[in-house]
Amino acid sequence: MLPSVKKSDSELYEIVAEEFTRQRTGIEMIASESYVPVEVLELQGSILTNKTLEGFPGNRYHAGHKAIDKMEILGIERAKALFGAEYANIQALSGSNANHSVYAAILEPGDTVLGMRLDQGGHLTHGSKVNFSGRVYNFISYGVSKETETIDYAEVERLAKEHAPKLIVAGGSSYPRVIDYEHISDIAKSVNAYFMVDMAHIAGLVAAKLIPSPVPYADFVTSTTTKTLSGARGGFVLCKAAFGKKLDKATFPGVQGSMHPQVMAAKAFTFKRAMTEEYRACMAQVIRNAQKLAQVLGTYGFRVVTGGTDNHLLILDLRPKNLTGAQFENALESVGITVNKNMIPFDPQKPLVTSGVRIGTTAVTSRGMKENEMGLIANMMKTVADNIDNAQIMEKVAKDVLELSSRFPLYEGYFE
Ligand SMILES: Cc1ncc(COP(=O)(O)O)c(C=O)c1O
């Protein structure tokens, strides 16, 4: 692994090696994570990183752009084909930047926007006060219904009528259910607002046509190529053709400078891979695994928020186990299972404590794990929750984690 780095910077090499050991020996269940194919590792580390370019194919500010133009056009065409979109921009350095680009394309500072509450499933860039979006624009938040824990569409409509937003944002980081895009699109139309969907988490499931696509309903769709798309660490935006020029201008020079061609090439590969049958089958298994995990954990005395999941993630309410999210996250990490603490709807705890955890199945599924392994993992989670102060039992679970991960090798042979 990294033979040149090993020779010239052993300190850094050891840090990467430590992280690789963690990834290889642990059970990764953070819902935003996946293991990228080696092609993505190669492209992101390729000589394309040497090229500085601003602008877009046919309209550059530096010479020497012929090959990179071909790569960007290929990536754009693949993104459009994969999602059936009229227009694509693949320059966003991250999912957050993708969102800021759309805001910059259609909003003025102070404009009113409707977005989902961060503590009920939204994302920081959907108007949180600690994020640039919440400081520049007048975000009004909608949330979920207390009874069903699913989006309160009546509230979305009421707030839209009351505040006449210029934009409505849907999508989020910890929402386990399918969103009714048509319904929100109708609400947006009724108040003459733009409609944007942030599909960062679920883009892979949308690409595999396993859950509904927001593309036919939204003016703009933003995403990362990480998470379920399981690829490059960056973002992209899809939109109706009529908004293409505005979007490009907002991306560069609006919110970004020169592009990252090495990552854009990895995105282009990510889109191609997402068209394969093998990838689709993996995404179908991701959902089956999440549903299996939710079902078994429910029988073990955890409360599953919304009662289950339609996608790759589930939110566990830990109050029946008398645990906080922070306690459970730490306890699971100590045995080699990685999850993150997460607010549950109407959570009485603070964000750094929380009453819940978010669990995702993309990474473990890409290692080959199926329903049977989800049963084993659910059992380990239950054992940890019920024996958090019993060092002997925790040690035994840590051994079980090692045994399970060793049966599903990661990047075998690639780093030898
Ligand atoms: C819904 C959603 N949008 C945007 C982002 C931001 O992506 P990035 O971390 O690449 O900026 C995330 C990341 O967690 C997300 O969950």
**pLDDT single digits (tens) 359-412:** 999 999 999 999 999 999 999 999 999 999 999 999 999 999 999 999 999 998
The finding on whether 310 has its CB within 6 A of some atom of ligand 1 is no
* DSSP letter (8 states) at residue 259: -
**Which segments within 145-228 are labelled E, that is strand?**
167-170, 194-198, 220-224
The finding on whether 171 has its CB within 6 A of some atom of ligand 1 is yes
Question: Residue 416: its pLDDT value, please?
Answer: 63
Query: What are 67-120's pLDDT values in tens digits?
Result: 999 999 999 999 999 999 999 999 999 999 999 999 999 999 999 999 999 999
Residues 161-188: what's their mean pLDDT?
Answer: 98
Is the distance from CB of 381 to CB of 388 less than 8 angstroms? no
Is the model's pLDDT at 216 over the cut of 90?
yes
Average per-residue pLDDT for the chain? 97
Query: Distance between CA atoms of 201 and 405, rounded to whole angstroms?
Result: 24
b/e map 168-200, b = 16+ CB within 10 Å: bbbbbbbbbbebbbeebbebbeebebbbbbbbb
What atom in ligand 1 is closest to the CA of residue 99? 4
Number of CB atoms found within 10 A of residue 305's CB: 26
Query: Distance between CA atoms of 295 and 293, rounded to whole angstroms?
Result: 5
Delineate the domains of the chain, giving CATH numbers in brackets. Answer: 41-273 (3.40.640.10), 277-406 (3.90.1150.10)
Is the model's pLDDT at 60 over the cut of 90?
yes
Residues 154-165: what's their mean pLDDT?
Answer: 98
Question: Residue 397: its pLDDT value, please?
Answer: 98
What atom in ligand 1 is closest to the CA of residue 174? 16
pTM of the model: 0.97
What atom in ligand 1 is closest to the CA of residue 226? 10
The finding on whether 131 has its CB within 6 A of some atom of ligand 1 is no
361 alpha carbon – ligand 1 mean position (Å) = 17
Query: Distance between CA atoms of 317 and 265, rounded to whole angstroms?
Result: 40
Residues 338-352: what's their mean pLDDT?
Answer: 97
The finding on whether 224 has its CB within 6 A of some atom of ligand 1 is yes
Residue 132 CA, chain-centre distance (Å), reads 19
Residues 286-301: what's their mean pLDDT?
Answer: 98
Q: How confident is the model at residue 414 (pLDDT cuts 50, 70, 90)?
A: confident
For atom 14 of ligand 1, which residue has the closest CA? Answer: 173
Torsion angles phi and psi, residue 360, rounded to 5:
-125, 155
The finding on whether 267 has its CB within 6 A of some atom of ligand 1 is no
The finding on whether 256 has its CB within 6 A of some atom of ligand 1 is no
228 alpha carbon – ligand 1 mean position (Å) = 12
The finding on whether 95 has its CB within 6 A of some atom of ligand 1 is yes
Q: What would the two tokens of residue 105 be?
A: 């394309």
The finding on whether 32 has its CB within 6 A of some atom of ligand 1 is yes
100 alpha carbon – ligand 1 mean position (Å) = 11
The amino acid at 194: Y
H-run or E-run covering 23? helix 10-25
Q: What would the two tokens of residue 254 be?
A: 């609006």
* DSSP letter (8 states) at residue 213: -
Is the model's pLDDT at 148 over the cut of 80?
yes
The finding on whether 312 has its CB within 6 A of some atom of ligand 1 is no
Counting residues of the chain whose pLDDT is more than 90, the rounded percentage is 99
H-run or E-run covering 283? helix 277-299
**Cis omega (within 30 of 0) for bond into 253:** yes
What atom in ligand 1 is closest to the CA of residue 234? 10
| Mutational pocket test of ligand 1: of 103, 123, 201, the residue with most ligand atoms within 8 Å of the beta carbon | 123
Q: What would the two tokens of residue 233 be?
A: 């660490």
Q: How confident is the model at residue 66 (pLDDT cuts 50, 70, 90)?
A: very high
Is the model's pLDDT at 62 over the cut of 90?
yes
The amino acid at 67: A
The finding on whether 262 has its CB within 6 A of some atom of ligand 1 is no
